[in-house]
Amino acid sequence: MRVVFVHGACAQDAAWWWHRMVEPLAALGLESRSVELPSCGERAGAASGADLHADADAVRAVLDEEPERPALLCGHSYGGMVITDAAAGRDDVDHLLYVSAVVPDTDESLASLAGPEPAPWVVPRDDGTIVPNTAVDLRGAFLHDCDEEAAAGALRRWGPQSQAAFAQAPRGIAWHKTPSTYVVCTEDRATSPARQREFARRASRRLDLQTGHHPFLSHPALLAEVIGEIVGGGDAQVSGGA
C-alpha cells in the first residue's frame, strides 16, 4: 500500500507540507508521495489558468506510475475536492482519507459549499488567482498548535492559486463507492469542527484528532497512527493531540 498526499489551497512545495509524515509512515512500512498541484503553479500550467480537474489529473498521473499498487489517497482541506475527483472510477485506490477537508457531492464546487460570503482567509486578484489574506491572523487560525519551524515554513509556502479551481465540481464522486475516513481536527480554528462533522457524514466513518488545521505538521505521529490502522484493517480510535 502506498500513501498519496494532496495538500490544501494556496500551498506550494508539496513535499514540504507532508515531510513530517515520511518517517512515521516508513516505520509502519508505508511509502508516501505528495502531489504537486497545477492550480497552485507547482506543475505545468500557470496558477492563474489551471483548475480542479488539472489537479485531479496530476494525482491520477502519480497513481498511473505504479498502476498495480493499491493506494490510500489523503486529501487535506481543498485537497478533499481533488481526491474525490481523482479516485473516481479507479480500482487502485483502496481508501480515501479526508483531513479537515471538503467532501463534495455531485455538482458541488468549493465555492458553492463555502456559501455566499467569501472566506476571510483569501482575497481575489485581477489575474485570476486568489492569495492568502495577510491582513488577518493566518498563523492563529491555521498554525496555532505548530512549532515555530513548521509555522514559519508554512507561512513562506503559501501563495497564489487559480480561482478556476474553486468554481468547478468534480467529474466523479469517488466516496460513493470507495471506503473513506474523515478526520475531524477538533481544535481547528480555520474550518470549524461543526462544519467538518457535516462533511464527515458523507464518509464511511469519522475519527476525531485533538489538533489544529495541519495535524501532519503539528502531530504527524497521530495522523500516521490513523493511516496505519486504516491500512492494517484495524478500528482506529485515535483522539489525542494538543
Task: Read off the pTM.
Answer: 0.94
Q: Please list, in sequence order, all residues whose beta carbon lies within 8 angstroms of the beta carbon of residue 57, skipping any fewer than 6 positions away.
A: 86
Handedness of CA 39, 177, 188, 5 (dihedral sign): negative
240 within domain boundaries: no
10 Å CB burial of residue 46 (0-12, 13-18, 19+) is middle
237 within domain boundaries: no
242 within domain boundaries: no
Strands 93-99 and 180-185: parallel
Split into its structural domains, the chain has a count of 1
23 within domain boundaries: yes
Instruction: Find where cell 490513523 sits.
Output: 226
Q: Give me the pLDDT at residue 189, please.
A: 96
pLDDT tens-digit series, residues 188-228: 999 999 999 999 999 999 999 999 999 999 999 999 999 99
Domain that holds residue 188: 2-232
Q: Give me the pLDDT at residue 188, please.
A: 98
Percent of the chain with pLDDT over 70: 92
Q: Give me the pLDDT at residue 98, please.
A: 98
Q: Is 184 helix (H, G, I), strand (E, B) or coil?
A: strand
Question: Whole-angstrom Cα distance, residue 121 to residue 137?
Answer: 9
Instruction: Determine the Cα angle at 154 with ends 55 and 151, to 5°.
Output: 150
State in Å, rounded, how far the first CA of the chain is from the last one: 29
- C-beta of residue 107 within 8 angstroms of C-beta of residue 38: no
DSSP 119: P
Amino acid at 82: V
238 within domain boundaries: no
pLDDT tens-digit series, residues 9-54: 999 999 999 999 999 999 999 999 999 999 998 754 445 679 999 9
103 within domain boundaries: yes
21 within domain boundaries: yes
- The CATH number given to whatever domain includes residue 51 is 3.40.50.1820
* Whether the predicted pLDDT of 235 surpasses 80: no
202 within domain boundaries: yes
